[in-house]
Amino acid sequence: MKTIIITGSTRGIGRGLAENFLNMGHQVVISGRTTTSVNQALESLANASPGGRLLGVPCDVSDFSQLEQLWQTASQHFGKIDIWINNAGIAQPQMPFWELTESQITELVKINVTGAMFGARVALAGFLAQGEGALYNMEGLGSDGRKVEGLTLYGSSKRALQYLTDSLTDEVKGTGVLVGAIRPGMVMTDLILKQYQGRDPSEWESARKIFNILADRLEVVTPFLAKRIIRNQKNGAMISWLSQGKVIWRFLTAGIKKRDVFEGIV
DSSP 94-131: SS-GGGS-HHHHHHHHIIIIIHHHHHHHHHHHHHHHHT
**pLDDT value at residue 195:** 62
Longest Cα separation, the chain: 54
With respect to residue 102, please indicate whether it lies within any of the assigned structural domains: yes
Distances 59 to 5, 10, 96, 127 between C-alpha atoms, Å: 12, 11, 31, 20
Q: Per residue in 14-35, pLDDT tens?
A: 999 999 999 999 999 999 999 9
Cβ distance 239 to 181 under 8 Å? yes
Q: Per residue in 233-249, pLDDT tens?
A: 999 999 998 776 776 76
Query: Mean pLDDT, to the nearest integer, of 126-148?
Result: 90
48: pLDDT strictly greater than 90:
no
User: Cα–Cα distance between 117 and 204 in angstroms, integer?
Assistant: 34
**pLDDT value at residue 86:** 98
Single out the residue of 239, 229, 240, 238 nearest to residue 185, CA to CA. Answer: 240
**DSSP annotation string for 144-202:** TS---TT-HHHHHHHHHHHHHHHHHHHHTTTTTEEEEEEE--SB-SHHHHGGGTTS-HH
With respect to residue 40, please indicate whether it lies within any of the assigned structural domains: yes
With respect to residue 58, please indicate whether it lies within any of the assigned structural domains: yes
User: Cα–Cα distance between 18 and 14 in angstroms, integer?
Assistant: 6
Span of 82-91, 212-221, 232-241 with lowest mean pLDDT: 212-221
With respect to residue 198, please indicate whether it lies within any of the assigned structural domains: no
Span of 118-127, 174-183, 217-226 with lowest mean pLDDT: 217-226
**pLDDT value at residue 262:** 66
Q: Which domain range does residue 182 map to? A: 3-189+217-243
For residue 14, what is the domain's CATH number? 3.40.50.720
% of the chain residues with pLDDT over 90: 67
With respect to residue 41, please indicate whether it lies within any of the assigned structural domains: yes
With respect to residue 199, please indicate whether it lies within any of the assigned structural domains: no
Cβ distance 231 to 136 under 8 Å? no
Cβ distance 180 to 135 under 8 Å? yes
* Higher-pLDDT residue of 47, 43: 43
With respect to residue 80, please indicate whether it lies within any of the assigned structural domains: yes
Candidates 136, 154, 163, 196; catalytic one: 154
User: Cα–Cα distance between 25 and 30 in angstroms, integer?
Assistant: 15
92: pLDDT strictly greater than 80:
yes
Q: Per residue in 110-128, pLDDT tens?
A: 999 999 999 999 999 999 9
Query: Mean pLDDT, to the nearest integer, of 144-168?
Result: 91
Single out the residue of 105, 106, 113 nearest to residue 86, CA to CA. Answer: 113
265: pLDDT strictly greater than 60:
no
Amino acid identity for residue 140 in this structure: G
The verdict on whether 196 is a catalytic residue reads no
Amino acid identity for residue 138 in this structure: M
With respect to residue 10, please indicate whether it lies within any of the assigned structural domains: yes
115 sits in the region (left: phi over 0; alpha: psi -120 to 50; else beta) called alpha
Domain count, the chain: 1
* Higher-pLDDT residue of 140, 162: 162
Average pLDDT in the chain: 89
